[in-house]
Amino acid sequence: MINLKVNPSFKTALITLLISAAVFTSCKKNETPVVEEPNVPEYYADRPVNVQGTVEVDSRKVVFNVWDSGQIDGDIITLVVNGKKVISNYTLTGTKKSIPVTLDNTGYNYVLLYAHNEGSLSPNTAALSIEDNTGEKNLVLSANLTSNAAYNVVVN
């Protein structure tokens, strides 16, 4: 066995360096998940989900605008983005309601419309636009009391 004399301050510095390296390598980077396939659930709140289309955006930071573009008939909705309610029990009007959202994923995300009622005219229909850094995409989602509506939102 070799007996080396080590300066105590060097020993402390070496231990600190080793602990720092261990902590650094165990920390995860805050990376955005990449989802390469549609991730819309088959059911939401015990109702099947009908995927009504796919829209592409160029940024994870978007603004969803929702309104009743037809006859204002008292439709009440909840909008869900990737499993999180972004607006709940909202009565649609003719004025756009803006909802800024940062999408969770690069690749596939989804927006889902849950109808609390069908207003005075069936079905519950909501106009939805998605603004990103390239402009605005306009969609229409249609749901009823037995099924939900959804769109895939793909971040390029």
Q: Checking DSSP bridges between strand 47-57 and strand 148-155, what pairing results, if any?
A: parallel
Among 3.10.290, 2.40.420, 1.10.10, 2.60.120, what is the CATH number of 34-155?
A: 2.60.120
Distances from the Cα of 156 to the Cαs of 36, 47, 99, in angstroms? 11, 30, 21
Query: pLDDT value at position 31?
Result: 85
Total-model pTM: 0.81
pLDDT digits (tens, 9 = 90+) for 67-91: 998 899 999 999 999 999 999 999 9
